[in-house]
Chains A and B, each alone.
Chain A
Amino acid sequence: MTEARFELIVLGAGPAGLAAAKAAADSGREVLVLDDNPLPGGQIWRGGPDQAPNARARAAFSALQHPRIAYRPGARLFAAPGPGTLLVELPEGGCRLGYGQLILATGARERFLPFPGWTLPGVFGLGGLQALAKGGYPVAGKRIVLAGTGPLLLAVADTLKARGARVLLLAEQAPLGRVARFAAGLVRHPAKLAQAVALKSRLLGIPYRCSSHVLEASGRERLERLRLSWGGEEGFIDCDYLGCAFGLLPNTETGQLLGCTLAAGAVAVDDYQQTSRPGVYAAGEACGIGGVDKAQIEGRIAGLAAAGRPEEARRLFPARAHARDFADRLAEAFRLEPALLRLARPDTLICRCEDVPLQALQSCSSWREAKLLTRCGMGACQGRTCGPMAETLLGFEPRGSRPPLQPVSLETLVSALSPTDPR
């Protein structure tokens, strides 16, 4: 096995991770950036430098050329067997890494909620469909409905339209009043307003309906038709793909693995982005959904703080407060409508890995009981998809999953744990 030690390891090569790595490296730290995707950029800049959508993304990617930054894609953290040690699966095998400090920039995933037919091929996540399209998934000429909430809906439509998709409808779950108030509030965030205006103009002609969501997906073997609710009315749309999600969830599993305290479903941090574990920092969506501005600023603060430059970090506090104000407005405007929690029927699957329907969970009194008696959350995704749903729909309290953090091959696990090669 290979073993190496770094002053600072950054987990995640999205906006927060890249900003953190650059800030620390500019301050003289040697940094290793690990990312489990094949290309850097996180979800927002998925596809790497070649697909960088703007100057800001290109500037962020330049961090990877920094002489003091090493970058490993396809690297999956799977265990933290002791203080200052990580076990990682690299494409070539297992590896044990030591660290002095750690910055968690593990981003977010989409929140899913079950509705009849949501397991049919052709039903994707909203950001999920965007991520797939960026990876070359064919969307040209496809009839696509997008359903979800917040600015992501527009961003995904933009990506898909640029690739030749026929986007039929944007279904925003939030009511018009809240969306309009959010839009009006953007005068405090002029850059965001300009982006929104540009985006909207590129999407002219695509219907954007508020108070709208999917009720049911149907089709034989794959998605063919959707039943939707728009503005209180019901209707059907025939389509090839549905991109559908219910907002974003911070990825907290790594933080939980390291024993970091959570707050409101995110990794809790102090003013300097430090978690409850000394020397372990978190930045970006992992410590609260807020978008790319917040992620980059928090990343810089974390990088500077980890590099021992708190004064410089402090200078970024006002900018962070401004970014967090935007995040708060987002959260308020696009909070989920209660009707979305009542879409599933008794036979609608909650756990897709083990095919566990809602009715099987309704007779359980706790997450533990559900796991033991229905196998919910015991499959390959280790409860990452169904856990939050069971929490939202049934009030269960899923705790962090058992190790390893991701399924890892036996040989990788063994090689990462075996004594160091004397060479």
Chain B
Amino acid sequence: MIDVKHLSKSFGDNLVLDDISEHIFPGEKVVIIGPSGSGKSTFLRCLNLLETPTSGVITFDGAEITHPKADINAIRRQMGMVFQHFNLFPNMTIRKNITLAPVQTKLMSQAEADEEAAALLRRVGLEEKADAWPAQLSGGQKQRIAIVRALAMKPKVLLFDEPTSALDPEMVGEVLEVMKELAREGMTMVVVTHEMGFAREVGTRVLFMDGGKIVEQDEPHAFFAHPKEPRTVEFLSKVL
């Protein structure tokens, strides 16, 4: 589904991603873990071109998105993204946050989008917040809305950039619950996270990144039970 070939990214002299090749298959839930500065967020942000790769080729559903003539907007419509800091639009109500993109990109009429927003909000238990403003919501509620906002575009894949890192501990559960449900429904997901429990329970594959490279990867049970690389063992011993 997403094919990455020889992806490198540097900021100035700082090489953040070092020749990464990887493939993400439909229905996979890929969890990316690693220490800070390992390049995991940059890798995720390259997948929908929020960061421009320095070199390498990324293909999504057969279309080369790193091609200079590629229609980035059309590709991004099919790849939802959820951010660490939610990034809800504070100048709009929750309903408007959710319906803006589907309506402006002519995916739906305003009426259809309103209906879709109501249905999605019901799914995450926030239907009564449709007319609220982002500033009135808790962090956990904001992140659930952010997920709904991404889902409203009916994406083929969802990218999560540390979705629970900015939350109070007691709010992490409600967000993970929504993500688990999405996973059960078969959504393709790429998740950068520090939640090892989530990686173990939901992931179909765990990638461990360090120093701009994917050091080790495996299905979660084997990955956590028998890590092979010394760097992985060291990291896991600190976080588990």
* A and B interact: no
